[in-house]
Amino acid sequence: MRTIERTVTVDERIGLDLIAIPAGSPIELDLRLESVVEGVLVTGGVRADTEGECSRCLEPTSGELELSLTELFAYPDSVTDETTDEDEAHRVVDELIDLEPVVVGAVGLALPLQPLCSEDCLGLCPECGIRLAIAGSEHGHEILDPRWAALAEKVAGDGDDGGDPQGRHTRDQQNTSSANTDLGSHNEAEEK
C-alpha cells in the first residue's frame, strides 16, 4: 500500500458549463494505492475550489468541492483486463496509472447541474431581467393578455365621467329610457 498527498495545478477548466474548477487552480489529492489481485485499487479524496454562476440570477458564485474516489486500474492480462471493453475499466500501462480521466469524470458527476448563489435565490424578473433579490417586494409588471385588450379599451372609455358612479347611473337611465321610447313607438306602429 502506498499513500500519496499531492497538490496539482489544472491546465484546463474541469467541470460543467455553469460551474467548474477554473484553469490554473490547485487540486488537492489525498489517495491510497493498493495492489490487489486484479490491479491497483485507488481510493481517497479530492478537494478543489469551484467558480461559476448562479443558474437563477446569473451572479458569480464560488464554492468548495470535496469528493471521494474509488477506482480499479486493471493489470495487463488480468481477468478484469480480458473480460472488459477498453472503455469499461481503466488500465495500468507501462506500470503507470493515469488519474486525470478519473478525476475529471468524478468532478463532472459531483458538481451541481444548476448551481445556486444561495438556496433561497429568487432569480431574475421574467419581464425586465432585474434580480428579484434587489428589486424589492413591490416589484411587478401589469401584463395585459392581448385577448382582453379590446375589453380593456372599452372599460377605459366608460370612465369619461371622471369615475362618478352617479354619472354612470344617469347615462344608464338615459339609455334605458331611449330604448323604452323606441319600443313604445314600435308598439304604436303595430296598433295602427
In a domain? residue 176: yes
In a domain? residue 91: yes
Give the DSSP letter of residue 7.
Answer: E
Do residues 57 and 133 lie in contact, with contact meaning Cβ atoms separated by under 8 Å? yes
Total domains in the fold of the chain: 2
* Domain end call among 114, 135, 156: 135
Q: What pTM value is reported for the model?
A: 0.66
Taking every pair of Cα atoms in the chain, the longest distance, rounded to a whole number of angstroms, is: 120
Domain that holds residue 28: 2-135
Q: What is the pLDDT of residue 88?
A: 72
Q: How far apart are CA 50 and CA 15, in angstroms?
A: 9
Q: How far apart are CA 124 and CA 109, in angstroms?
A: 27
Residues 17, 92: one domain?
yes
In a domain? residue 170: yes
CB burial of 49-69 (b: ≥16 within 10 Å; e: otherwise) equals ebbbebbbbeeebeeebeeeb
Q: Which three cell numbers stand for residue 116?
A: 445556486
In a domain? residue 140: no
Residues 65, 160: one domain?
no
Tens digits of residue pLDDT in 119-168: 999 899 888 888 888 887 788 888 778 888 888 888 877 655 544 444 44
Q: Which residue has the cell 495500468?
A: 92
Residues 93, 131: one domain?
yes
